[in-house]
Amino acid sequence: MEIFALDLGNKQTKLKSRKAEYVLPSQILNKSDMPQQLGSFGTRKISSYKVPFDENEWAWESDLAALKLDEYLQDTLMHQNRYQNDVFRLLANFALGKLATDFKEANKGIMKVIVVTGLPTDDYNSSKQLADLTEVLKGQHQVEVNGKTYTVRVEKVLIVPQPVGTF
């Protein structure tokens, strides 16, 4: 079973597996908000993401800011119920899908993983926040990345207070 480490921060999303590490923005773009002349990403590091629970197709990855569509970008920066927010839920699924792209078994079957993530101390001390985040992450996730479907089953979620991640 693989271990996926996720840091779904307010500004950056940091991802790690035994095969790769990624630092990406914590913003996504609904592809329907893209001007037609930007219909193709060209050589930019931007991928298309879809999940079964949302009808939209989304753009995400490191060069998203280069599109200069700040007014259309959706982020997870909020003060209450962050882990119940639709954009956070999408970002969490996209993060799992992104890590899964490095593993053939996720494209051919169901990849079982353990997720390790951190929470700010205030959120970590809230049983509701812990439960909300666990609910978003645990279970089966099907994520389409650039037309390929990846299936990840999160068997276990380990949540640590963020200061632990500095060691």
What's the pLDDT tens digit per position in 144-159? 999 999 999 999 999 9
Residue type at 18 in one-letter notation = R
Q: Which residue in the block uniquely carries the two structure tokens 């490095």? A: 102
Tally of domains within the chain: 1
The mean pLDDT of 102-124, rounded to a whole number, is 92
Give whole-number Cα distances, 1 to 50, 84, 104, 111, in Å. Answer: 25, 27, 14, 8
Beta bridge partners of 29: 59
CATH code of the domain in which 119 resides: 3.30.420.40
- CA-CA distance, 104 to 54, in Å (whole number)? 25
51 token code pair: 């999940």
Phi-psi region of 22 (alpha: psi -120 to 50; beta: other; left: phi over 0): beta
Q: How confident is the model at residue 127 (pLDDT cuts 50, 70, 90)?
A: very high
Residue 14 is part of which domain span? 2-166
Is the pLDDT score of 165 beyond 70?
Answer: no
